[in-house]
């Protein structure tokens, strides 16, 4: 005490169970989000002084075992058991028996923050009160152990009396048992030993005898794991049911019990408990320390690999490969339990042969054939159905040779594959002038891929995949009329009209995948279940037309149909079921005659053109291009017995656009070529302009009733083509939706949530370059990007369907009414599509001072830059009702998002190169941003400013002595770089009715960097660097400044 007197101080330890609370206040549901904790003290009659030591969460992997009363006939202790952790640091002065560590157990030392830290060694304590005769109590935890590569499992245990209960314990009154297995209830090993009681008293952690007293040798559990598997073999041989508990004794008179089919390969539950073997009600405390696996079996493995390759000139190449890995083989950095567990063998053969070389050269046949075969086998070391029993032990017990052979087959996993492929087979025979019947127009390909898998749990898994194609390609010579031939000679090739297509391609391909799988249901070679069959048969057809109508106008049309060849779901095996095979063959052939059942149809039409480069002075200033692209897709929907016909899906997409480049200075030269001075002035004033405009439209309609044909993707109904040529060429308007609904071309139900979708995108970009005076260049740009998406719910009431519209607009220009650097009205951010005055984004570059002599004396180059950019984006979503005219009425805004970002990057920029080689750069950037939260009526403002200054200088000098050079820096010399910057960033929120802005985050930062690089030679280079950064928070979570400084030196050596 402060006055010098001594008094006894008591410390109290409170353990608060989080799950077993007494009361719950309010609407709290769980403990996943706790923000505040309060400690309440009451019931004191006098003034007291308390010292608060610590408050911490304690995680325990151990829990009290809760038995399965339905399937467990044992007598279990059901009252709550107090669990605690004991350690030498905190429990070395317990009143009954103080805690000390067992012999051979030392606290581990680990590295933490570059310091050696000794971990706090501890043990688990659980106290048992009033345990009745033949009653059990236990604790358990989840694990993930594979114990097969270990010899034993060790555990230290301790037992002593409790003074408060007054019960007296004798040796062997309690016994300790441990369960290892999958669940501890129906599949487990159990090992039991009698326990010795430790007398009450205080013991020393330094004396060997005291440690042996507190942790008696007889209480030390040392389970020989091989005894557990031997007991299980004994149980299986004796014929005892696995659902019953089998009991046996070891040579140490310890008891082993087994139930179910436990495995040491997958120990997920450990149960530790005690039994009362006496005829009295007893109490006591049990300590458990250091459950560990010991005596790891370190088996080393080996591996071998061989390859043989044979090349026969240009005919082919053959290779054979074999590899073997034994159990225990692995990488040097792998632990023993990470290495392979079983012997593995692999053998393979590959070849690539050009069979066209075998036939006479007059045929000009090309026929590359690829062959591959491989087989991988894995011989299991353990019984696959009892995977902690070694196969050698199991084979020794089996006396029947046929049974041993059956076990060997079961203990082997095999994977085999075989492949044959023929690609681009054809005859290279063609006419002098390409003709449609030339054999060179045809190409043939075929691929067969087979695989087979077998394992202890899989009787077989066989797969066969066939694919092939026949392609026809014809490229006729150009056919021109005499007039166009004459135009070609007059260098007007862009007028050359082609009357025949450039290329015609037709392709037919098939793909068939067939697989059979059969699993093993029980342990045994012939105990298998039913077969599962997987089938897929597709026939794909495609046609492509490419036509260069003029030299600068190209047309491309492509159609493709993916069809399914319908086949009955059955096992296809001609040897086992010849009648079923004939039925399958007839069904497939009938489907092929009908060209299959269409699954998907695709059609693409593309037209591209560009303005030719004309040498006419009146039109040579114009360059441009255009494109038109239309895509059409039809996808088959589901046809289910329960849900009915789900209809099909039709989609289209159309893109049109033009690009133009206008060189007005070139036009000025053509308009006024008489006055050279006036023409020069016009060239400087009139800019270079680039224009890009693109419009994309698309539509998707689900639950469409009609199918398609190969030609055009249309279906003729009542003399009309559906969905129509216009839809296939990209027509997408709301009137088409009205048409298909009114004509009952779609399935309409009250329950459907499918929606017809239309989308529109319009993109425009304008760029211009202006040079009013020498050395000054302006770059101006405008950007507009608008997206609209409408979703119409398909239901029988077509006149009042619910519709939602989502609009997204982006403008890369500045509106005169919007300024992100100043306070902006919320309403002015909401409609970028309105016609308001907009200002372009710009870039300014000026280097005209370089022509003056006073600049040339100091600088080689001086340039000034300035740039401004602004992007205004609005995303709005409305919902409403669709009327007869397909207009959106009763419009309601659901959500809106708006953001504006404008900046000067840079506001001022200066680049200079001095005559002595020094380069300098200065940049001052300012960026402003606004984000509108429409729901919260608030603006989030952001401001970023920075100033960057950089210098670079290269030293290249020769060293001399007595007027002679004796060495110099390398060609690179010494490069010095210095860079510094100051930055400021702030983010704040402006509420609609707030008087001032609320800052949410911000910081100021400074940094300086220095680098020196010196190339001594081509092989050796040196580098030195120094960096320092300072960060000063202005607002936000982190309120303390930070300083970071780093420096270093490096040497780089390159060997050539």
Strand partners, 691: 660, 766
CA nearest to 536, candidates 466, 613, 587, 479 = 466
At residue 295, what are phi and psi to the nearest 5 degrees?
Answer: 60, 60
Run of H or E residues at 157: strand 150-160
Q: Count other C-beta atoms under 10 Å from residue 489's C-beta.
A: 8
Residues of the chain under the 70 pLDDT cut = 1-4, 69-73, 110-117, 479-495, 522-530, 614-617, 639-645, 670-686, 710, 749-753, 795-838, 878-895, 934-936, 957-972, 991-997, 1036-1039, 1056
3-state SS, residue 684: helix
Report the C-alpha gap between 213 and 627 in whole angstroms: 94
- CB-count exposure of residue 972 (10 Å: 0-12, 13-18, 19+): middle
**CA separation for the pair 756, 551 (Å, rounded):** 41
Q: Assess contact for 411 and 384: CB atoms under 8 A.
A: yes
- Residue 549 located in a structural domain: no
Helices vs strands, H then E, count in the chain: 12, 52
Question: What CA–CA distance (Å, rounded) separates 821 from 449?
Answer: 66
Domain of residue 180 covers 63-296
**At 456, is the secondary structure helix, strand, or coil?**
coil
* Residue 818 within any structural domain of the chain: no
Residue 25 lies in a domain: no
Quick one: pLDDT at residue 489?
47
Contacts of 627 (CB under 8 A, 6+ apart): 606, 607, 608, 609, 655, 656, 657
Task: Scan for tokens 């920075």, then name that residue.
Answer: 946
pLDDT of residue 968: 43
List pLDDT tens digits, range 477-501: 876 655 555 554 445 555 677 788 9
- Would 109 be classed as within a structural domain? yes
The verdict on residue 74 lying in a domain is: yes
Give the per-residue pLDDT at 649. Answer: 92
Q: Provide the token pair at 556.
A: 């491309």
Q: What was the pLDDT predicted at 480?
A: 61
* Residues 6+ away with beta carbon under 8 Å from 226: 151
Query: Is beta strand 343-354 parallel, antiparallel or unpaired with respect to 368-379?
Result: antiparallel
Q: Does 263 map to a domain?
A: yes
Q: How far apart are the C-alpha atoms of 647 and 705, rounded to whole Å?
A: 5
Alpha helical stretches, state H, 162-304: 208-214, 225-238
Quote the number of domains for the chain.
1
Contacts of residues 667-675 at CB distance under 8 Å and 24 or more positions apart, as own/partner, are 667/621, 669/617, 670/617, 670/618, 670/620, 670/621
In a domain, 181, yes or no: yes
Residue 515 contacts residue 569 (beta carbons within 8 Å): no
Q: Which is it for the CA torsion 187, 193, 194, 195, positive or negative?
A: negative
Domain assignment present for 493: no
Write down the pLDDT at residue 577.
Answer: 87
1021 Cβ partners below 8 Å, 6+ apart?
A: 1013, 1014, 1015, 1051, 1052, 1054
Segment 546-590, tens digit of pLDDT:
998 888 899 999 999 999 999 998 888 888 888 999 999 999 999
DSSP 738: H
Provide the token pair at 366: 């090309």
In terms of pTM, does the model score above 0.75? Answer: no
Nearest alpha carbon to residue 630 among 539, 713, 551, 715: 713
């Amino acid at each position: 005490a402060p006055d010098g007197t001594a008094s006894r101080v008591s410390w109290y330890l409170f353990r608060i169970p989080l799950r077993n609370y007494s009361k719950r206040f309010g609407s709290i549901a769980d403990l996943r989000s706790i923000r505040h904790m309060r400690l309440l003290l009451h019931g004191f009659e006098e003034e007291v002084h308390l010292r608060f030591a610590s408050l911490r969460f304690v995680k325990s992997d151990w829990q009290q075992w809760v038995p399965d009363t339905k399937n467990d006939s044992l007598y279990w202790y059901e009252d709550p058991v107090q669990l605690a952790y004991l350690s030498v640091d905190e429990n070395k002065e317990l009143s009954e028996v103080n805690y000390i560590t067992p012999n051979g157990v030392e606290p581990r030392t680990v590295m933490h923050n570059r310091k050696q830290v000794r971990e706090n060694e501890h043990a688990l304590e659980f106290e048992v009160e009033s345990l009745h005769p033949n009653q059990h109590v236990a604790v358990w935890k989840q694990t993930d152990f594979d114990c097969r590569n270990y010899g034993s499992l060790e555990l230290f245990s301790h037992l002593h009396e409790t003074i408060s209960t007054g019960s007296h314990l004798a040796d062997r009154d309690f016994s300790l048992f441990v369960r290892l297995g999958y669940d501890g209830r129906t599949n487990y090993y159990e090992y039991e030993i009698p326990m010795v009681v430790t007398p009450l008293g205080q013991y020393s952690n330094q004396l060997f005898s005291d440690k042996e007293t507190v942790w008696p040798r007889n209480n030390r559990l040392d389970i020989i794991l091989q005894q557990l598997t031997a007991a299980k073999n004994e149980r299986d041989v004796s014929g005892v049911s696995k659902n019953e508990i089998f009991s046996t004794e070891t040579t140490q008179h310890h008891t082993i019990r087994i139930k179910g089919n436990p495995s040491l390969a997958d120990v997920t539950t450990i149960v530790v408990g005690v039994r009362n073997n006496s005829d009295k009600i007893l109490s006591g405390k049990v300590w458990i320390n250091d459950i560990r696996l010991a005596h790891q079996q370190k088996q080393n493995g080996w591996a071998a690999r061989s390859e043989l390759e044979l090349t026969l000139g240009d005919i082919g190449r053959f290779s054979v490969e074999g590899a073997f890995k034994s159990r225990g083989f692995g990488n040097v950095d792998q632990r023993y339990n990470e290495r392979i567990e079983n012997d593995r063998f692999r053998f393979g053969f590959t070849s690539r042969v050009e069979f066209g070389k075998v036939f006479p050269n007059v045929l000009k046949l090309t026929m590359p054939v690829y062959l591959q075969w491989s087989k991988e086998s894995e011989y299991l070391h353990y019984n696959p159905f009892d995977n902690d029993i070694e196969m050698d032990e199991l084979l020794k017990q089996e006396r029947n040779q046929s049974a041993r052979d059956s076990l060997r087959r079961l203990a082997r996993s095999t994977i085999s594959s075989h492949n044959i492929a023929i690609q681009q087979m054809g005859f290279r025979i063609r006419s002098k002038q390409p003709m449609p019947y030339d054999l060179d127009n045809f190409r043939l390909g075929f691929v067969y891929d087979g695989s087979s898998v077998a394992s202890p749990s899989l009787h077989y898994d066989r797969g066969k995949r066939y694919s092939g194609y026949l392609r026809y390609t014809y490229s006729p010579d150009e056919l021109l009329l005499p007039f166009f031939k004459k135009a070609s000679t007059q260098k007007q090739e862009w007028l050359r009209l082609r009357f025949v297509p450039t290329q015609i391609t037709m392709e037919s391909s098939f793909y068939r995948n067939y697989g059979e799988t059969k699993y093993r249901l029980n342990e045994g070679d012939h105990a298998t279940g039913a077969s599962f069959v997987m089938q897929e048969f597709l026939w794909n057809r495609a046609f492509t037309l490419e036509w260069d109508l003029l030299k600068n106008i190209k047309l491309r049309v492509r159609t493709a149909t993916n069809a399914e060849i319908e086949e009955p779901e059955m096992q296809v095996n001609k040897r086992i079921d010849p009648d079923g095979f004939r039925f399958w063959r007839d069904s497939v052939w009938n489907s092929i005659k009908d060209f299959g059942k269409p699954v998907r149809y695709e059609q693409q039409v593309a037209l591209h053109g560009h303005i030719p480069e004309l040498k006419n002075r009146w039109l040579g200033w114009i360059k441009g291009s255009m494109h038109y692209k239309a895509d059409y897709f039809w996808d088959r929907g589901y046809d289910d017995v329960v849900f009915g016909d789900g209809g099909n899906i039709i989609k289209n997409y159309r893109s049109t656009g033009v690009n133009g480049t206008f060189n007005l200075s070139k036009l000025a030269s053509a308009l006024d070529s008489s006055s050279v001075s006036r023409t020069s002035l016009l060239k400087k004033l009139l800019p270079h302009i680039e224009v890009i405009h693109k419009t994309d439209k698309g539509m998707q309609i689900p639950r469409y009733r009609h199918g398609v044909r190969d030609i055009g993707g249309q279906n003729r109904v009542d003399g009309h083509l559906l969905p129509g040529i216009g839809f296939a060429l990209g027509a997408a308007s709301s009137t088409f939706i009205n048409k298909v609904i009114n004509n009952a071309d779609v399935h309409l139900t009250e329950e459907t949530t499918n929606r017809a979708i239309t989308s529109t995108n319009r993109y425009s970009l304008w760029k211009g370059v202006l040079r009013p005076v020498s050395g000054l260049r302006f770059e101006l740009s405008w950007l507009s990007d608008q997206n609209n998406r409408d979703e119409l719910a398909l239901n029988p009431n077509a006149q009042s369907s619910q519709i939602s519209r989502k609009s997204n607009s982006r403008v890369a220009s500045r509106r005169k009414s919007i300024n992100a650097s100043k306070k902006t009205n919320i309403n002015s951010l909401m409609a970028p599509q309105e016609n308001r005055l907009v200002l372009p984004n710009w870039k300014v570059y000026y280097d005209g001072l370089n022509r003056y002599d006073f600049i040339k004396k100091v600088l080689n180059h001086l340039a000034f830059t300035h740039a401004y950019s602004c992007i205004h984006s609005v995303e709005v979503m409305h919902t409403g009702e669709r009327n007869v005219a397909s207009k959106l009425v009763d419009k309601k805004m659901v959500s809106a998002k708006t953001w504006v970002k404008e900046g000067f990057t840079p506001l001022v920029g200066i680049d200079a190169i001095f005559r002595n080689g020094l380069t300098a750069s200065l940049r001052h950037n300012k960026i402003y941003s606004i984000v509108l939260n429409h729901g919260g009526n608030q603006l989030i403002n952001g401001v970023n400013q920075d100033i960057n200054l950089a210098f670079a200088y290269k030293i290249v000098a020769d060293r001399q002595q007595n007027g002679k050079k004796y060495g110099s820096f390398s060609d690179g010399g010494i490069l010095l770089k210095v860079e510094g910057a100051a930055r400021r960033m702030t983010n704040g929120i402006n509420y609609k009715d707030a008087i001032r802005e609320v800052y949410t985050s911000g910081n100021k930062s400074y940094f300086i960097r220095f680098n020196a690089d010196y190339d001594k030679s081509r092989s050796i280079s040196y580098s030195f660097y120094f960096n320092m950064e300072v960060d000063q928070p202005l607002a936000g979570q982190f309120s303390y400044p930070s300083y970071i400084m780093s420096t270093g030196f490096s040497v780089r050596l390159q060997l050539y």
